[in-house]
Structure 1
Amino acid sequence: MRHIGCCTWIFGNEPIEQTAQRVKKIGLNGVELHGDIHSINPVQAGKVFADKGLEIFSITPGDADISNPDSAIRQKAVDYYKKLIDWVLKIDQQPNPPMVSCHGLVQRIRPISTQEEENQFLIESTKQICNMAQQANIEIVFEVLNRYESHQVQTLKEGVHFLEKVKAQNLRLLADAYHMNIEEANPAGALQEAGTYIGLYHAADSNRGAIGEGHTDFKAQIMALNNIQYYGPIILEIAAPGPDPFNTNKGEGFKEILEQQLKKSIESIRALNS
């Protein structure tokens, strides 16, 4: 039975002890931990989740503009990933340290210079990040976003081409059902074609809600994941109903709504024999 986790950022700035307790109560197997290197003590985080029998599958990065044409901004972004990799090592989850997710600055949806130049900067920065991670024995997954969040790498096909240019052995793709709902004509087919390039999978329905609350064909997608022999975790990245998709706090009671959405999603995924 495939493991299921959730992103911790969906609960806002809740202390990790509370999040771990929620996640365990809901019946999840682990989490994708927000890479807040300034506010979260990695040693403590590793212990908190391990004590609950939960695995930290992966890390959601903070925003960093790794393709900005300004070399100082770009270097600061790469430096953040260096700090993030060091932070992940302190979690001390052996023999399987969490994967680190990577992407450009969310909500920068157009180039500052030219698309061609910034695409090249993205390749160069990702190579640096992968080299640093390789030395720490950490896997990197590049998240394929959508046109409303990024102007770069919006489909899995583009993601495969990107990986072929970066040429890093520890780099694969993070496929996200919500983003695919926007960008892919056939999400399950895109997963099938990407094959072994898929390193992690995020799930939220077409409305960013619980599995089964929208129109995404998860049966087809999970079948595709099985066909390509992806048996890694399904990471739920859902949001309670309300305005502002980039702010998880939808008002009073939103965490309780999230709990119900996560429970419903687990039931739906399990029903698909995943």
Structure 2
Amino acid sequence: MRPIGCCTWIFGTNDIAAIAARAARAGLDGVEIHGDLSIDPVQAGRILSDHRLRAFSITPGDADISHPDLTIRQGALDYYRKLVDWAVAMGHAPRVGCHGLVQRIRPVSDQMQENDLLVDSVSQICAMADAAHLDVCFEILNRYESHQIRSVAEGIALADAVGVANFSLLPDAYHMNIEETDPAAALMAAGGRIGLYHLADSNRGAVGDGHIDFAAQFRALDAIDYAGPMIVEPAAPGPDPFNTNKGPGFEDTLEDMLTRSVRAIRTLGG
């Protein structure tokens, strides 16, 4: 069975101890920890260990790694440099996530120029991570969150352009529901390039709350021998998809979603 985790980002500003307790109660094996550099990485690692949870990966904060303004782009790369050091200090997070600035859905200058800048920045991030013996997973988002790398095919092209061994792709069932004609076929096409897998249902709810054919995706993951973590990333119902805090009790709603997702994943053979 593949290990199951959740992204701590979904719990907003809740402290890591409270999130770890909820993740453990939900039956998770670990977490993808949000790369908030204000969190003490050593303490966070200890808290996760105390709850018998692993840190499967780091999801980054927002940083614009393809902006044509060198100052902005360099600031984003400085964040990733600090994030790699932060991951090392935590002691047991083998993957650092990477993506562009969420909610930037159009180029500032020129799409082709910014695509080239993305390749250059990702290559630099991979070099930083490789020096620390870490892998980089590039998350594929949807058209409402990014103007770059919105499909697995585009992710494969990015992987070819970057061309390093510690780079892999992070497809997400929720985003694929928007962008892919056949999500299971997209997973098959990516094959061994997949380093991490995210999932939430079509309504960003628990697995089974929407209409995504997870059984087909799990069969595809089996066929490509993907044995890595499955990171559940639902959102409590409510407006503003970029703000996880939906009001009083949203944490209880998320814990219930995670608990039900674990059951559904295991039932479906995930």
Using the size of structure 1 for normalisation, the TM-score is 0.97
Structure 1 residues 6-155: aligned runs within 5 Å: 6-37=6-37, 39-93=38-92, 97-155=93-151
Tell me the number of residue pairs that the alignment of Structure 1 and Structure 2 aligns.
270
Q: Which runs of 5+ in 1 are unaligned?
A: none
Report Cα offsets for 1:59-101 as digits up to 9, x if no partner: 11010000000011001101100000000000012xxx33111
Q: Which AA in structure 2 matches 1:90?
A: A
Is 1:4 equivalent to 2:9 in the alignment?
no
Is 1:221 equivalent to 2:217 in the alignment?
yes
Cα-Cα RMSD: 0.7
Report Cα offsets for 1:110-168 as digits up to 9, x if no partner: 00110000000000000000001000000000000000000001100110011100111
| 2:177 corresponding residue in structure 1 | 181
CA offset at residue 25 of structure 1? 1.1
CA offset at residue 252 of structure 1? 1.1
| Secondary structure of the corresponding residue to residue 173 of structure 1 | strand
Q: Which AA in structure 2 matches 1:73?
A: I
CA offset at residue 261 of structure 1? 0.8
Structure 1 residues 187-226: aligned runs within 5 Å: 187-226=183-222
Q: Which AA in structure 2 matches 1:141?
A: C
CA contact (8 A) 2:218 2:269 kept: no
**CA distance in structure 1 between the aligned counterparts of 2:58 and 2:94, rounded to whole angstroms:** 7
| 1:238 corresponding residue in structure 2 | 234
CA contact (8 A) 2:215 2:269 kept: no
1:263 to 259, 265, 268: 259
CA offset at residue 243 of structure 1? 0.4
| Secondary structure of the corresponding residue to residue 213 of structure 1 | coil
**CA distance in structure 2 between the aligned counterparts of 1:238 and 1:148, rounded to whole angstroms:** 17
| Secondary structure of the corresponding residue to residue 202 of structure 1 | strand
| Secondary structure of the corresponding residue to residue 133 of structure 2 | coil
| Secondary structure of the corresponding residue to residue 58 of structure 2 | strand
User: Runs (4+) of structure 1 moved beyond 3 Å?
Assistant: none
1:172 to 156, 165, 168: 168
**CA distance in structure 2 between the aligned counterparts of 1:98 and 1:182, rounded to whole angstroms:** 29
CA offset at residue 273 of structure 1? 2.1
**CA distance in structure 2 between the aligned counterparts of 1:170 and 1:42, rounded to whole angstroms:** 22
Identity %: 59
Q: Which AA in structure 1 matches 2:236?
A: A
| 2:248 corresponding residue in structure 1 | 252
CA offset at residue 2 of structure 1? 1.1
| Secondary structure of the corresponding residue to residue 195 of structure 2 | strand
